[in-house]
Chain A
């Protein structure tokens, strides 16, 4: 069966520090991968998606970037965190272009 992992589960970082959040999927090949940010009362905002290794599409201009160095690994990064980057970050995967997405447990990021 397929599983999705995210780490760390929680993270507290100072403003201006770098960020690296990791997401890995097991039990499937060539998934579509997604990064979302969840804010209270605002639902989930799609940040990045990837349909293959090295292929990243950005949905929202921001202080973050994403990379997919391996088929089942998706990384969310920042060179210098802002206060506004605080939030709950979710990784998700799906098979093919249309259909159900499966979500990871999320990372709670607090920028101080």
Chain B
């Protein structure tokens, strides 16, 4: 069965530290890949997406992600986090033409001042 794994459930780090969140998926075909973020009390919103082309994609708020096809991974990175990056982050994989997403369990990130 298809699945999406996020390696960390909780991450706590200080402001200005670098962040990397892992995401691996199990699906052998063509995929579209997404990272969503949910700030406290707000809607889920898109951080970035990968459909094709350059495997290094840049999103909003200084986030980027790298698609490594051979590793079935789509890891999210930010070189220097801010307190406002405190949120829950979800990786999602779209595998079929109906637009069905498979989400990871999410990673709660807490950035301390």
Contacts and interface: CB of A to CB of B under 8 A. Distances in A.
Interface range for B: 20 to 34
Contacts of B4: 43
Contact of B43 (A57, A94, A104): A104
A98 B94 contact: yes
Most-contacted residue by chain A among B32, B98, B106 (CB, 10 A): B98
Contacts of B46: 100, 102
Contacts, number: 59
B100 to A, nearest CB: 6
B105 interface: yes
B90 interface: yes
Most chain-B Cβ atoms within 10 A of its Cβ — which of A42, A100, A103? A100
B29 interface: no
A26 B106 CA distance: 29
B39 to A, nearest CB: 12
B44 interface: yes
A94 B43 CA distance: 15
Contacts of B92: 44
Contact of B106 (A43, A51, A98, A99): A43
B105 A41 contact: yes
Interface in A54-112: 57, 59, 90, 94, 96-106
Interface of A: 32, 34, 36, 41-46, 49, 51, 57, 59, 90, 94, 96-106
Interface of B: 4, 6, 9, 32, 34, 36, 43-46, 49, 51, 90, 92, 94, 96-106
15 contacts: A36-B103, A43-B104, A44-B101, A45-B103, A46-B100, A46-B101, A57-B98, A97-B96, A97-B98, A97-B99, A98-B94, A99-B32, A101-B99, A101-B101, A102-B46
